[in-house]
Structure 1
Amino acid sequence: MQDARAGVLAMILACTIWGLSPLYYKLLATVPPLEVLSHRTLWSAGFFMIVLLVQGRFGRLVAALSGLRAAAVLGFAALMISTNWFLFIMSVQIGRTTEASLGYYIFPLVAVLLGVVAFGERLGRGQAVAVALAVIAVLVLSVGLGAAPWISLVLAATFGLYGLIKKRLTVGPVVSVTAEVMLLSPLAAGWLVWLHFTPGGGAFGEDAVISLLLALSGPLTAVPLILFAYASQRVTMASIGLLQYINPTLQFVCAVMIFGEPFGLVHAIAFGLIWTALALYSGAAWRHQSVRRRASIIASAVGSLPTNPAIEASAKP
């Protein structure tokens, strides 16, 4: 019980950090998103390396990167998560955080579709209705705003593909993310070196506050992921699925209430459809989890019942 409570608190804290991260990236609006991404990659790589060294798990990182196939899989995962990070940073800087929050709202529904395609999973009735509502919401936005919400769609797709790859990995989340940012670090370092040798130079070192903010991108990336890994070992998947909505909800609040991004009738209809879809999806997932938990309890109870040797003997042929 104590472990479950600690897991829930860790999950809430992780999602709160992710949800309020637009406030941080807004402070870096004067720094190009690719430069911010490069710093995030390098500082998080350093932070993760320290964590693994302290935990004595550096050998797992070496093992994770040994072999061409393993490096290729982690390289594709790195490409997906870096694209996701870049688009999120850019969306905040150009005033489209609302669209980014929509992407993380529809991600669970995209994950369901990926499960159908990749693993042959079957959609339940509630899941099918939820996916249909999400498609209608995207169409409403596309027609109402005159353009498809491509930031939302790409964020959801890249995060969905990233999750799909992670599901096939045998290494833990902290080790795999460390490997991913390590693979990206040479590119990030090369880009920053090139920037600092061009006219105008890079942002780091020019201003103390901006430099400190860029350095903080390391722990800002690592800490919530470590909290998430801690929570995932102590909290049911149904609870994690529900708590994860804290992230896009806080992003949505930042966009509309703090940044003052436009939110008209078209947005209201689309988000209403998405929220309805997520309610259906979460309800179905919660019921499924409850049924499995009850079945497990019953199976354990039946297995622990005392047996009667005489009855067992008479039942034998």
Structure 2
Amino acid sequence: MTDAAASHRTTAHSTYRTGLVFGGLSYALWGALPLYFLLLAPSGAFEIVAWRVLFSLVFCALIITVTRTWTVLGRALRQRRLVWTMGLAGVFIFINWQTYVIAATTGHVVEAALGYFINPIVTVLLGVFVLRENLRRLQWVAIVVSCVAVVVLAVGYGSLPWISLILAFSFGLYGLIKKRVGPSVDAVTGLTLETAWLAPVAVVQLVVVSGLSGITFGTVSPWHTASLLAAGIITAVPLLLFAAAARRLPLTVLGLIQFVAPVLQFLVGVVILNEAMPFERWVGFGLVWVALIILMVDMVASGRSPRRSIREVA
């Protein structure tokens, strides 16, 4: 092996390890979000999400200022179709955020985790019905198994697991839009446009909350105020870490480590918050996990080579 080849192999290995670290950190932070939202009590879910939108916008503006990339945002703003598309993405991520925070603050963390376990199945379904993709046999098997799981869980919950389904479909549609946008907008610019669209909604939400129960920001304790201010950082940092990981890892690897977040959320709900897990829910979750294993096997068996995946992600 020549020195150049050895150097290239070392660089590739280093890039891969860095990507794993970035990806693991991003999903770990997402997995710990329920604990963060619980620390924000007595703030309600609607106030939390409103501040999350506004402080994310402020944090993105700070990043753009520090990195001197206002011209990049300016170019994006001149693309009318892109701006409207990011507005639609903002609608779906707002639905996702609001539903997730409601779940985290009302004792439904396990149901929220289920939503992100189901999300890959939803992504496959969107590929069929929106992108007109053809499914392989194992993918159909995974979908059928997951549908059976939803029926079992509906029996266990006494109704459809609405929180799980809303989270799975809202994030799936958000991901579909981001995929269609592709590399034309980076993570910071995209989040800036999305939160700029949502800022008026957040302000209205705060006005309503103020009239109904009162705003808690700045009235509880310095620690509480600082924690709410950190909402922008907590929102943006995992997204930036994920974007960095996506540029360094094959899609197959990125797909496998995405389950770190729902696994952590599930453990938080069951182990830390002691949420109920009757037999029917264990069966339902077990079927979902079987469906995901089938999907992962299919993805690895028919997946692209790491080199090709890295090229396409970057």
Q: With the length of structure 2 as denominator, give the TM-score of the two structures.
A: 0.89
Pairwise CA distance, 1:53: 2.1
Deviation at 1:162, TM superposition (A): 0.3
Q: Does 1:276 align with 2:290?
A: yes
Q: For 2:23, give the aligned amino acid.
A: M
Letter of the 1:185 counterpart:
A
User: Which 5+ residue runs of structure 2 have no aligned equivalent?
Assistant: 1-12, 309-314
Pick closer, same or farther for the CA change 1:161–1:295 going to 2, 3 Å.
Answer: closer
Q: Count residues with an aligned counterpart.
A: 293
For each residue in 1:244-276, what CA deviation from the matched residue of structure 2 results, as whole angstroms up to 9, or x when unmatched?
100000000000000000001011100100111
Pairing 1:24-63 to 2, within 5 Å after superposition = 24-63=36-75
Offset at 1:295?
10
C-alpha distance 275-194 of structure 1, shift in aligned 2 (>3 A) = closer
In structure 2, the residue matched to 1:101 is: 113
Alignment CA distance shift 1:294-1:9 (3 Å)? closer
| Secondary structure of 1:122's aligned partner | coil
Which residue among 170, 175, 178 is the counterpart of 1:166?
A: 178
Matched, 1:178 2:192: yes
The aligned counterpart of 1:140 is 152
Query: How many Å apart are 1:218 and its aligned residue?
Result: 0.8
Q: Residue by residue, what CA displacement relative to the aligned partner does 1:159-217 show, whole Å, maximum 9, x if unpaired?
A: 00001111111212221111101111122134335645x47530111022221111111
Choose which of 195, 204, 209 in structure 1 pairs with 2:217.
204
Query: Which of 130, 134, 137 is the matching residue for 1:125?
Result: 137
Write the letter of the residue equivalent to 1:52: I
Hey, what's the Cα distance between the residues in 2 that align with 1:12 and 1:278? Answer: 19
CA distance in 1: counterparts of 2:21 and 2:287, whole angstroms: 29
Paired AA for residue 250 in structure 2: T
Task: Give distance in 2, aligned partners of 1:135 and 1:44.
Answer: 36
Counterpart Cα distance in 2 of 1:106 and 1:200? 35
Amino acid paired to 2:116: Y
Partner SS, residue 305 of structure 2 = helix
Q: Extract structure 1 runs of 4+ deviating beyond 6 A.
A: none
CA-to-aligned-CA distance 1:146-171 (integer Å, 9 cap, x gap): 20000000100000000111111121
CA contact (8 A) 2:56 2:195 kept: yes
- How far apart are residue 143 of structure 1 and its match? 2.1
Does residue 152 (structure 1) correspond to residue 181 (structure 2)? The answer is no
What residue in structure 1 maps to residue 101 of structure 2?
Answer: 89
2:10 match = none
Identify unmatched segments of 5+ residues in structure 1.
Answer: 297-317
Q: Is the 8 A contact 2:115 2:166 kept in 1?
A: yes
CA contact under 8 A between 2:22 and 2:242: conserved in structure 1? yes
Equivalent in the alignment of 1:65? 77
Structure 1 position 217 matched with structure 2 position 218: no
Query: What SS is found at the alignment partner of 1:202?
Result: coil
Structure-2 separation of matches of 1:123 and 1:60: 38
- Residue 267 of structure 2: which of 240, 253, 265 is its match? 253
The alpha-carbon distance between structure 1 residues 84 and 295, as it changes in their structure 2 partners (threshold 3 A), is: closer
Shift of 1:135: 0.5
* SS of residue paired to 1:271: helix
Distance 1:285 1:199, change over 3 A: closer
Check conservation: 2:45, 2:102, Cα contact below 8 A. Answer: yes
Aligned equivalents of 2:47 and 2:61: distance in 1?
Answer: 21
Query: Which position in structure 1 is the counterpart of 2:24?
Result: 12
Q: Aligned match of 2:249 in 235, 245, 248?
A: 235
1:75 aligns with 2:87: yes
Question: C-alpha root-mean-square deviation of aligned residues, in Å?
Answer: 1.7
8 A contact 1:174–1:229 mirrored in 2: no
> Letter of the aligned partner of 1:144 in structure 2?
G
